[in-house]
A and B are shown apart, each in its own frame.
Chain A
Amino acid sequence: MTTATTLPARHLPGDPSIWVFVLGDMVIFGCYFAAYLFDRGHDHELFLQSQQHLSQGVGAINTLILLTSSLFVALSTQAARAADLRAASGLLTLGGACGAGFVLLKSYEWYSKLSAGLTISSNAFFMHYYMMTSVHFFHVLLGLVILVILRRELQGSAPPRMQLLETGATYWHMVDFLWIIIFALVYLMR
């Protein structure tokens, strides 16, 4: 276990199995993106018009929220390595708070779309929009549970297990970058 803030060369962060999950999830989301792009290619006009109903501002704020949460989680990991557990715990809490903010904003976004009568069966664009953001949302919720577990690890009486912290952080960063792609493909690209 290293206490330095930098890593030795060729270190696989976290429990190696988390990478099975991350790579698998990347492939699975890749399939969702492919299905979205395929349908988009077939009905570009519909997708373009439907996209206008989305609030790019809300999407951008959500992106910034998740990016900030990732920063806090990454800083927390570094602090834990430097054995500054108080800072690590505080930073993790901030990261989790950002994650909770994402959940609230996303819920509000869905509520406003549903109130406007735009449901999952409105058209192909909205089918993809709701499906992808729902699956991602489920990942965020799971991520928040994981962050709580990590925080408990940091606040426990025993020295925290770095592998567990890195594993949880890896999962959270994955949730962040998947959203970056969703934001670009669904909200912005035309």
Chain B
Amino acid sequence: MTQLRRNVKLDQLICWWSIPIFYQFFGLIFGYLTKIMGPPIPGPNLTLEGITAFTLGNARHMQIGIVLLAISLGFASMGTGVIVVQMRRMSGPGPVLAYCYLACGAAAALPGCLFCGLLFAVSVFRPDRDPQIIAVLYEMGFVGFIGCLGCFATQYLVFALAIFLDRRAIFPKWLGYMTLWNLVTELIAAPVWIFRSGPYAWNGLISFYLGVLIFVVWIVCLITWLKKAIKNQPLEEFDPACTGTLLV
């Protein structure tokens, strides 16, 4: 029985590990390979030659990156899953908001993550593609990638709300406030569809760099305090008859 109880959190821990591993992958894919986020990211003001040079010049790396992205993107669901499990433990509307979080994550994953990669993959598929088409795919990719940060805004809002209304303090209140910073920066990224230069363009200091900085700080805190939440989860919440089954 004690043996069973010791492994009762194993599923959550495995899922938790997927988060830092996934984000390493994410960083490799978006930063080094596809250069979609590799600083400095190319901007909306690039000439046709510049866009073609960026895209085709990076073709091999992009192709490898897209293959890895397509395979690994699904693992983001594991992280979402364990966060949902912890959110379900919260008092108040926690369980309801947990499912909202899940739905938002599912809706946001395609535009927010895979879409840009897909478009670049298509643009490098033929090296002799018309530069005008490459340019359209380039803009669709970037504007879509950064502009769709708003899709995540609701996810962060429900997460913050759940934390504030949770009397069981599964996550600390300050993490809820940090999530609100994230939310604000996601909203700031919404007008990237309008600007072709400056701090609010898709490669702008505010829309991109500040947004990424805050996101990185937030995800590190989330990963750390999620582990603590799992660790501190009392064993009484698990069904003793079945390993890992939650009673909440």
Decide whether A and B are members of one complex: yes
A-B contact count (CB 8 A): 52
- Tell me, in angstroms, the Cα distance from A32 to B185 when the chains sit together: 11
Which B residues are CB-close (under 8 A) to A28? 181, 184-185, 210, 214
Q: Do A21 and B180 touch across chains, with their CB atoms under 8 A apart? A: yes
* Those of B66-85 within 8 Å (CB) of chain A: none
Select the stretch in B31-39, B91-99, B132-140, B187-195 that faces chain A: B187-195
A15 contacts the other chain (CB 8 A): yes
Q: Do A121 and B194 touch across chains, with their CB atoms under 8 A apart? A: yes
Q: Do A24 and B178 touch across chains, with their CB atoms under 8 A apart? A: yes
- Of the listed residues A21, A32, A38, the one surrounded by the most CB atoms of chain B closer than 10 A to its CB is A21
In the complex, what residue of chain B is closest to A22 when comparing beta carbons? B177
Q: Do A135 and B184 touch across chains, with their CB atoms under 8 A apart? A: yes
Q: Do A127 and B195 touch across chains, with their CB atoms under 8 A apart? A: yes
- Tell me, in angstroms, the Cα distance from A179 to B139 when the chains sit together: 35
- Closest chain-A Cβ to B94's Cβ sits at a distance in Å of 18
- Please pick, from B176, B191, B199, B210, the residue contacting A120 in the complex, using a CB distance under 8 A: B191
Question: Taking A35-B206, A121-B194, A131-B188 as contacts, is the C-beta distance between A21 and B177 under 8 angstroms?
Answer: yes
B172 contacts the other chain (CB 8 A): yes
- Please pick, from B174, B195, B210, the residue contacting A17 in the complex, using a CB distance under 8 A: B174
Type the 1/0 row for B31-62, where 1 means its CB is closer than 8 Å to any CB of A.
00000000000000000000000000000000
- Tell me, in angstroms, the Cα distance from A32 to B191 when the chains sit together: 15
* Those of B164-187 within 8 Å (CB) of chain A: 172-174, 176-178, 180-181, 184-185, 187
- Closest chain-A Cβ to B203's Cβ sits at a distance in Å of 13
B205 contacts the other chain (CB 8 A): yes
- Closest chain-A Cβ to B4's Cβ sits at a distance in Å of 37
Q: Do B181 and A17 touch across chains, with their CB atoms under 8 A apart? A: no
- Tell me, in angstroms, the Cα distance from A35 to B205 when the chains sit together: 8
- Tell me, in angstroms, the Cα distance from A82 to B214 when the chains sit together: 40
Which A residues are CB-close (under 8 A) to B187? 135, 138
Which A residues are CB-close (under 8 A) to B199? 35, 38-39
Which B residues are CB-close (under 8 A) to A45? none
- Closest chain-B Cβ to A21's Cβ sits at a distance in Å of 4
The interface size of chain A toward B, counting residues with CB under 8 Å, comes to: 21
Q: Do B177 and A39 touch across chains, with their CB atoms under 8 A apart? A: no
- Closest chain-A Cβ to B182's Cβ sits at a distance in Å of 10
- Tell me, in angstroms, the Cα distance from A138 to B180 when the chains sit together: 12
Q: Do B174 and A131 touch across chains, with their CB atoms under 8 A apart? A: no
* Those of A28-47 within 8 Å (CB) of chain B: 28, 31-32, 35, 38-39
In the complex, what residue of chain B is closest to A31 when comparing beta carbons? B210
- Closest chain-A Cβ to B188's Cβ sits at a distance in Å of 7
Which B residues are CB-close (under 8 A) to A58? none
Q: Do B177 and A20 touch across chains, with their CB atoms under 8 A apart? A: yes
- Please pick, from A25, A32, A124, the residue contacting B198 in the complex, using a CB distance under 8 A: A124
- Tell me, in angstroms, the Cα distance from A171 to B185 when the chains sit together: 18
B200 contacts the other chain (CB 8 A): yes
Q: Do A17 and B198 touch across chains, with their CB atoms under 8 A apart? A: no
Q: Do B194 and A20 touch across chains, with their CB atoms under 8 A apart? A: no
Q: Do B173 and A121 touch across chains, with their CB atoms under 8 A apart? A: no
Q: Do A131 and B185 touch across chains, with their CB atoms under 8 A apart? A: no
Additional 5 contacts, C-beta under 8 A, given A17-B173, A31-B206, A35-B199: A15-B173, A17-B176, A32-B206, A35-B205, A135-B184
Give A contacts to B, CB under 8 Å: 15-18, 20-21, 24-25, 28, 31-32, 35, 38-39, 120-121, 124, 127, 131, 135, 138
Give B contacts to A, CB under 8 Å: 172-174, 176-178, 180-181, 184-185, 187-188, 191, 194-195, 198-200, 205-206, 210, 214
**Chain A to chain B contacts (Cβ below 8 Å), 26 pairs:** A15-B173, A16-B174, A17-B173, A17-B174, A18-B177, A20-B174, A21-B174, A21-B180, A24-B181, A28-B181, A28-B185, A28-B214, A31-B206, A32-B206, A35-B199, A35-B205, A35-B206, A38-B199, A121-B194, A121-B195, A127-B195, A127-B200, A131-B191, A135-B184, A138-B184, A138-B187
